[in-house]
């Protein structure tokens, strides 16, 4: 897909809002497990491992063909993850993107790379061969 016919990249604020919405959904789902772990007064890492694994699967499923490239937060903010050529990501690339976002987001590399990149494409997207675009009414620049 040439640069002239590409859909516009999603702005950072829309991406951040979608990430917050998805974070709230995951928080609500995992809060009982986290609360139980704290009240048990035992050091048990399995709930934390489960949280990371399920979160990665959540992102990968929604970002792949299964979720048409949109998590629930992305549907609300009308943005979508696609391959560089505009097609849907396969599950392996979506899982790679989720893993890169997990490590790069925690270090601040991903948000900084999105803000500093002239095309608004983060390092995790470049490495996974993906990009986040606007959809629907927001598709016009």
- 141 assigned to some structural domain: no
- 121 assigned to some structural domain: yes
Range of the domain at 65: 3-136
pLDDT in tens, 22-71: 999 999 988 888 888 778 777 777 888 888 899 999 999 999 999 999 99
The structural domain count of the chain equals 1
Q: Are 130 and 93 in contact (CB under 8 A)?
A: yes
Helix (H, G, I), strand (E, B) or coil at 7: coil
Q: What's the whole-model pTM score? A: 0.83
pLDDT in tens, 90-128: 999 999 999 999 998 888 898 899 889 888 899 999 999
Which of 111, 116, 104, 138 lies closest to 9, judged by CA? 138
- 123 assigned to some structural domain: yes
């Amino acid at each position: 897909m040439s640069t002239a016919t590409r859909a516009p990249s999603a702005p950072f604020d829309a991406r951040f809002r979608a990430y917050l919405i998805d974070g709230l959904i995951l928080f609500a789902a995992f809060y009982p497990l986290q609360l139980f772990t704290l009240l048990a007064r035992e050091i048990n890492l399995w709930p934390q491992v489960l949280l990371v694994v399920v979160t990665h699967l959540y992102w990968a499923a929604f970002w792949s063909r299964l979720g048409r490239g949109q998590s629930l937060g992305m549907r609300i903010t009308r943005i979508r993850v696609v391959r560089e050529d505009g097609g849907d990501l396969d599950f392996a690339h979506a899982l790679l993107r989720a893993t890169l976002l997990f490590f790069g987001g925690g270090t601040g590399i991903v948000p900084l790379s999105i803000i500093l990149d002239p095309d608004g494409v983060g390092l995790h997207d470049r490495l996974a061969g993906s990009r986040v675009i606007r959809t629907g009414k927001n598709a016009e620049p």
